[in-house]
């Protein structure tokens, strides 16, 4: 793949990984829905775009060049968050894609 010289396009895609939107693994390893939503809000306010699974695949295959400030959100537990009331609420409020 030959990457274009356009500085508005991303060359690398950071992955932001979460365990859950509500998690407490100790005093220093925890997440609340409010913190999670605040992080998604920060990403949005700072011009970040969360890629869909299809966009990630097309980027890896060299068929798509996402804009700068692209990222992807990932949950490590493999649970379908659309099926959980809290997770679906969080993702619906953010309008971001995530991958499991």
Residue 83 has pLDDT above 50, yes or no: no
Provide the percentage of residues in the chain whose pLDDT is more than 70.
Answer: 66
Within a domain: 4:
no
* Residue 69 in tokens: 């400030």
Please report whether residue 65 resides in a domain.
Answer: yes
DSSP state of 76: T
Residue 86 included in any domain: yes
Q: Is 61 domain-assigned?
A: yes
Whether 7 is covered by a domain: the verdict is no
**Residue-number span of the structural domain to which 79 is assigned:** 15-21+30-94
The verdict on residue 1 lying in a domain is no
In a domain, 62, yes or no: yes
Terminal Cα distance for the chain, rounded: 27
Axis-axis angle for helices 85-94, 33-45 (nearest 10): 20
Q: Per-residue pLDDT tens for 12-55? A: 889 888 877 777 778 887 888 888 889 888 998 999 988 888 88
Total domains in the chain come to 1
């Amino acid at each position: 793949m030959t990457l274009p010289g356009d500085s508005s396009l991303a060359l690398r895609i950071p992955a932001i990984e979460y365990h859950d939107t509500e998690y407490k693994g100790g005093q220093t390893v925890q997440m609340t829905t409010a913190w999670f939503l605040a992080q998604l809000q920060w990403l949005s306010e700072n011009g970040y775009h969360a890629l869909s699974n299809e966009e990630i695949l097309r980027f890896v295959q060299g068929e798509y060049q996402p804009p700068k400030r692209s990222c992807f959100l990932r949950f490590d537990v493999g649970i379908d968050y659309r099926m959980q009331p809290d997770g679906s609420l969080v993702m619906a409020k953010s309008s971001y894609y995530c991958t499991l």
